[in-house]
Amino acid sequence: MIEFNQLKYFRKGDIMNLHIGVIKGDGIGPEIVTEAMKVLDKIAELYGHTCEYEELLLGGASIDVHGIPLTDETVERAKTCDAVLMGSIGGDAKTSPWYQLEPSKRPEAGLLAIRKSLNLFANLRPAVLYEDLKGACPLKEEITEGGFDMMIMRELTGGLYFGERNTVEKDGVLTAYDSLTYNETEIRRIAKRAFDIAMKRRKKVTSVDKANVLDSSRLWRKVVAEVAADYPEVELENMLVDNCAMQLVKNPKQFDVILTENMFGDILSDEASMVTGSIGMLASASLNESKFGLYEPSGGSAPDIAGKGVANPIATILSAAMMLKFSFDLDKEADAIENAVAQVLKDGYRTGDIMSDGKTLIGTEEMGDFICERLK
């Protein structure tokens, strides 16, 4: 078994060789990942780094070659990389032969399996509304003026989704139960990751729970407070989940890092994604206890537009920026990508999903080219 090496990448001064696993995936995946790699190569050129890519198969692409969505070899090869950049997985459930297979052999099963195999317990979902895209936001303009930028940190491998569950018949009545369990170790490791990320941002953590009702939330709040004591520069705010759901649509600007458990994070991250206006703009990352992470766009594989050159690559490009920041500590390079994306939008260029009157419609490859041109 290959173990993770936390210092795999070569670094000499500020020059690094980035060993990146690449899963291009299915549908529009190969197109959008290609543009993200183009941006990474440009960053490497500008800052003196090198990128070494190792292509891996997952999902439908793996089924076509190996008959299963994820092989043991792919997992082991992924573990030798510093990080993995991934496109979208899956196809059309009505027409693709992949979905004639049993559920455990379908594309999405491979995605769940690799997350488990790599122990990716921390899910990061940024929700950013760019000033130039505020018209796509469903909230009132006075709420969105100036845009907003938050990071939702969701615990990914514990809680209600992984607890004991069963459905039984009692006295002729069906009864179902699901167990919500967290231990202090699970809470502490996700909290530390949230505070570390807050140190790279605006130094505020909003810990979301239901401590007025749930024992698991009361433990959550206690452990988070203990972790916060090690980060005196970071402001800690506790907020009940129902209030957080309201505040996300009332005043999203107040949030920097939202830290929460699995089910709450599942719901809140979807709510936050809607107020940004387009899922094609949303990056994500799943991290383990080392610097290793799996970085992917939040959207699906969109098989209906695959190969047409119209997909929006920005979410994947921003995922690559997250990779530079959180797996390689290359904050300047990550900021350069984010600034270039913002400049392209300010200059009025749009793919079809974010197109509006008076803007210039461009395709997938052009968007990657224009972002590269604006890198500094």
Residues acting as catalytic residues = 161, 210, 242, 266, 270
Within 13 Å and on the Cβ side, how many CA atoms surround 57? 14
Both tokens of residue 322?
């997250």
Angle at 187 between CA 214 and CA 75, to 5 degrees: 125
Report the sign of the C-alpha dihedral through residues 165, 167, 169, 174, in that order: positive
Of the chain, the end-to-end C-alpha distance in Å amounts to 41
Phi, psi of 240, deg, nearest 5: -70, 145
Using alpha carbons, select from 16, 11, 19 the residue that is nearest to residue 78.
19
DSSP per-residue codes, 262-313: HHHHHHHHHHHHHTTS-GGG-EEEEE-SSS-EEEEESS---GGGTTTT----
Site of tokens 């990056």: 283
Q: Report which secondary-structure segment, H or E, holds 54.
A: strand 50-56
Q: How many Cβ atoms from other residues are within 10 Å of residue 29's Cβ?
A: 28
- 8 A C-beta contact, residue 299 and residue 284: no
